[in-house]
């Protein structure tokens, strides 16, 4: 049984000297939201454009709904015949059409005589039922992106593509709209491939989360797995872990600038050479001075609603922490580390 909506196998794409996508494999089942996270230039946009049919594979195979749409050999199926919906970074609303026409045009194109009704349903879903007669230029950025979302879901495509849809919006709108997207897409039960460089967006939306760099998919797992067990220093860092802190492995222990800490049990260190330690802020908590407690100095701090946010200098590095009580710049404190969770990598780890 294979209910994969999208399958990408061995995908390669290059532009001139740049290898944009270098051997990516993934598949997406119906109703699933898969987020691809990566810095700019990591190849996530190229991969999305390949799926959309706006670019063509150099090698590999791409199936949508089980059918091959691009195998780098025959003519790839054009975008308009892939049955997709897409939300663009710059919204890409057609400026000469009203909101209703923007949402309705793809439906009319598919010969739907009830396009008005379906478009209105989609607009209701994104909370814009009253604005159907306006034009894009009469809407705010958040409203425009809601129209773009309505346009993408209106025809009930088998696959939705999101190209960093929230990156042009302010923080509050981003939070609001990512909830609208999560709710709308899950309610519609459509599979979605969502690319972003914002980790909180990706963790919030994803059923599965992939991290990309240099055209490669470094890790593809459930968000909590990516968070707890990142496969490489890059993934750890890009998903918000602080580090690297230089440490030396000892027999069943670690030496961190003279402090001896119990070594994490499943540390994948080969040969006991120098190692890099990564920590997430919530794995550290204030403690009394004593064996295993790590000393730190507050560099800067400020009130953050449910506590104090502080940048704390640790041996060989620094970390942003949320502390329960007020701390002043220059204040010394000791921290207890949840060593069971700490992330350790060989210091010469390439990725």
Please give the residue ranges that form the binding site for another protein (CB under 8 A): 12, 14, 19, 22-23, 52-54, 58-59, 72-76, 78-86, 88-98, 105-106, 109-110, 135-141, 144, 151-152, 155, 161, 168, 214-216, 350
* Contact yes or no for 87/180 (Cβ under 8 A): no
Q: How far is the CB of 63 from another protein (least distance, A)?
A: 17
Paired sense of beta strands 18-29 and 259-262, if any = unpaired
> What letters, b where the CB count within 10 A reaches 16 and e where it falls short, cover 238-256?
bbebbbbbebebeeeebeb
Closer to another protein by CB, 159 or 284: give it: 159
Closer to another protein by CB, 78 or 307: give it: 78
CA dihedral 46, 47, 51, 56 (to 10 degrees): 60
Q: Which helix (H) or strand (E) covers residue 130, if one does? A: none
Where are the alpha helices (H) located in 155-300, listed in sequence order?
Answer: 171-188, 199-205, 223-228, 233-238
Q: How far is the CB of 108 from another protein (least distance, A)?
A: 9
Bridge partner list, 21: 13
Neighbour order of strands in the sheet with 216-221: 84-87, 159-163, 191-196, 33-37, 208-213, 216-221
Closer to another protein by CB, 216 or 334: give it: 216
Q: How far is the CB of 2 from another protein (least distance, A)?
A: 24
Q: How far is the CB of 125 from another protein (least distance, A)?
A: 17
Closer to another protein by CB, 86 or 263: give it: 86
Local structure of residue 72 (DSSP, 8 states): S
Q: How far is the CB of 275 from another protein (least distance, A)?
A: 21
Q: How far is the CB of 271 from another protein (least distance, A)?
A: 21
Closer to another protein by CB, 71 or 198: give it: 71
Residue 313 structure tokens: 């200098």
Closer to another protein by CB, 245 or 345: give it: 345
Number of Cβ within a 10 Å radius of residue 314: 23
């Amino acid at each position: 049984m294979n209910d994969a909506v999208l399958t990408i196998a061995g995908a390669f794409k290059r532009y001139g000297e740049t290898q944009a996508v270098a051997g990516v494999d993934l598949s997406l089942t119906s109703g699933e939201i898969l987020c691809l996270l990566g810095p700019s230039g990591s190849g996530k946009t190229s991969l999305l454009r390949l799926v959309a049919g706006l670019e063509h594979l150099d090698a590999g195979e791409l199936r949508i709904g089980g059918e091959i749409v691009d195998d780098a050999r025959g003519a790839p199926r054009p975008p308009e015949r892939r049955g997709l919906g897409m939300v663009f970074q710059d919204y890409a609303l057609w400026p000469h059409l009203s909101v209703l026409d923007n949402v309705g045009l793809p439906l009319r194109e598919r010969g739907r005589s009830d396009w008005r009704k379906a478009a209105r349903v989609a607009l209701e879903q994104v909370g814009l039922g009253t604005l159907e007669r306006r034009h894009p230029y009469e809407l705010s950025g958040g409203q425009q992106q809601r129209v773009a979302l309505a346009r993408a879901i209106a025809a009930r495509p088998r696959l939705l593509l999101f190209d960093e849809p929230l990156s042009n919006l302010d923080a509050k709108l981003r939070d609001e709209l990512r909830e609208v997207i999560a709710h709308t897409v899950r309610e519609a039960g459509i599979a979605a491939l969502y690319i972003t460089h914002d980790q909180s967006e990706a963790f919030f939306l994803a059923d599965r989360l992939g991290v990309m760099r240099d055209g490669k998919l470094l890790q593809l797992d459930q968000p909590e797995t990516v968070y707890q067990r990142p496969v490489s220093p890059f993934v750890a860092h890009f998903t918000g872990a602080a580090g690297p802190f230089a440490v030396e492995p000892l027999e069943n222990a670690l030496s961190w600038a003279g402090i001896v800490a119990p070594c994490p049990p499943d540390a994948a260190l080969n040969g006991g050479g120098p190692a890099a330690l990564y920590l997430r802020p919530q794995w550290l908590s204030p403690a009394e001075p004593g064996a295993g407690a790590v000393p730190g100095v507050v560099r800067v701090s400020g009130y953050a609603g449910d506590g104090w946010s502080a940048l704390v200098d640790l041996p060989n590095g620094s970390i942003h922490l949320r502390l329960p009580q007020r701390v002043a710049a220059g204040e010394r404190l000791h921290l207890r580390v949840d060593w069971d969770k700490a992330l350790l990598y060989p210091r010469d780890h390439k990725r």
